[in-house]
A and B are shown apart, each in its own frame.
Chain A
């Protein structure tokens, strides 16, 4: 089951990377921030799956809104002369990414442990 998202990621990445699509330079930083927000949402989805709190609509809307909002926030900061607003988004998203990663690691370890306990021969 885990290979499906990985495969999709590889296909999406490869298709764009090999065709060398780009966006205008002015939008580059907003795009980067949107990508970081995307990473955060995906990790959040995986975590909620482990926790069993997964909800369809929250996940998909989260991805769309988070990426757009992150880019919009950076753009807004640039417009009103607070370029560091970009940093605020990076720090917030980075913090969440690490939090989600550590939680995923815990759930995964716990799962592996219970599997071993319930199946002593392995």
Chain B
């Protein structure tokens, strides 16, 4: 405390000296701490290939993904349980209840809540083999730019949509893309190389595997129809598609949400009115 009035010069000098020594000592320690911290951060970055914050984010993302998968499994399990409970009711059942149960189970199958099995086909959409070389050759032949030709040699989401549409038109009763069931609210879209079905990513890049239950011959014919989607878009010409008839195809159940946020069911009393208004408008 050299500021105390009356402190001698010697005291001040001694305090000054001890200050310098202590700062020296602690500066050395600080240097050690900083170097250690710096080296550790370097190591983390070189190991993970990204700053520590990103690595933490990546870990969080993975955790969330795992949790999502877990709840998906739980939903599937619970739905199975519901189905079992409906099939084995505790009380006695009359003919009417049986009929209702039968209708419910049919509705479930139609809506896509149960896995289905039956004859059908498997359609694999893949990029054209040797696409790059082919694109150059075709570009020379036709005089079109290489990039444009190359695009038509690669599979896109619209090809998946087109093939699915043709299959439904040819009488397919149930369709799955990459093992994800297509239901009435299904959507197919591309985000980079990944195809999203019902807003969920399914596998990585092409090939995409479409499975359909229905008359195998009709389905294949419908796909290969001259002037049909595959023909018009040159998917068959450029070898982008492989079709295989199968005696038995398994289509998984739909696992997405089953509620409506906006749509409300029209009450039975009003339904007649709706039907008649559309009826009078038709002619």
Bound Cα distance A10, B266 (Å): 79
Bound Cα distance A7, B21 (Å): 12
A26-41 contacts to B (CB < 8 Å): 27-29, 31-32, 34-35, 38-39, 41
Asked if A101 is at the interface of the complex by the 8 Å CB criterion, the answer is: no
B26–A45 CB distance below 8 A: yes
B2–A52 CB distance below 8 A: yes
Q: Closest CB of chain B to A47's CB: distance in Å?
A: 11
Stretch in A15-23, A87-95, A113-121 touching the partner: A15-23
Q: Closest CB of chain A to B279's CB: distance in Å?
A: 61
B36–A23 CB distance below 8 A: yes
Given the interface pairs A13-B35, A16-B36, A53-B3, the reply to whether A4 lies near B24 with Cβ below 8 Å is yes
Q: Which partner residue on chain B sits nearest A49 by CB separation?
A: B19
Given the interface pairs A4-B24, A53-B3, the reply to whether A32 lies near B19 with Cβ below 8 Å is no
Given the interface pairs A53-B1, A53-B3, the reply to whether A5 lies near B32 with Cβ below 8 Å is no
B28–A20 CB distance below 8 A: no
Q: Closest CB of chain B to A71's CB: distance in Å?
A: 10
B2–A12 CB distance below 8 A: no
**Count of chain B residues near A, Cβ 8 A:** 34
**Count of chain A residues near B, Cβ 8 A:** 44
Asked if A9 is at the interface of the complex by the 8 Å CB criterion, the answer is: yes
Contacts of B28 in A (CB 8 A): 8-9, 11-12
Asked if B257 is at the interface of the complex by the 8 Å CB criterion, the answer is: no
A21's partner among B23, B24, B39, B47 (CB-CB below 8 A) is B39
Q: Which partner residue on chain B sits nearest A48 by CB separation?
A: B19
Bound Cα distance A25, B25 (Å): 27
Q: Closest CB of chain B to A18's CB: distance in Å?
A: 9
A31–B33 CB distance below 8 A: yes
Given the interface pairs A28-B44, A49-B19, A52-B2, the reply to whether A39 lies near B36 with Cβ below 8 Å is no
Bound Cα distance A22, B29 (Å): 15
B30–A9 CB distance below 8 A: yes
Residue with the greatest number of chain A CB neighbours at <10 A, chosen from B15, B19, B31 = B31
B37–A12 CB distance below 8 A: no
Given the interface pairs A8-B25, A22-B43, A28-B52, the reply to whether A17 lies near B35 with Cβ below 8 Å is yes
Asked if B41 is at the interface of the complex by the 8 Å CB criterion, the answer is: yes
Q: Closest CB of chain A to B142's CB: distance in Å?
A: 56
A20–B39 CB distance below 8 A: yes
Q: Which partner residue on chain B sits nearest A32 by CB separation?
A: B37
Bound Cα distance A12, B16 (Å): 23
Asked if B18 is at the interface of the complex by the 8 Å CB criterion, the answer is: yes
Given the interface pairs A8-B27, A9-B27, A45-B26, the reply to whether A56 lies near B35 with Cβ below 8 Å is no
Q: Closest CB of chain B to A17's CB: distance in Å?
A: 4
Contacts of B44 in A (CB 8 A): 25, 28
Q: Which partner residue on chain B sits nearest A11 by CB separation?
A: B28
Bound Cα distance A4, B28 (Å): 10
Asked if B100 is at the interface of the complex by the 8 Å CB criterion, the answer is: no
Given the interface pairs A42-B23, A49-B16, the reply to whether A35 lies near B30 with Cβ below 8 Å is yes
A13–B2 CB distance below 8 A: no
Contacts of B265 in A (CB 8 A): none
Q: Which partner residue on chain B sits nearest A37 by CB separation?
A: B33
Closest 8 CB pairs of A and B: A12-B31, A13-B31, A16-B35, A8-B28, A12-B28, A17-B35, A5-B27, A9-B27
8 contacts between A and B (CB under 8 A): A12-B35, A16-B32, A22-B43, A23-B40, A27-B40, A28-B41, A38-B29, A60-B26
Which residues on A are within 8 Å of B, measured CB to CB? 1, 4-17, 20-23, 25, 27-29, 31-32, 34-35, 38-39, 41-42, 45-46, 49, 51-56, 59-60, 63, 67
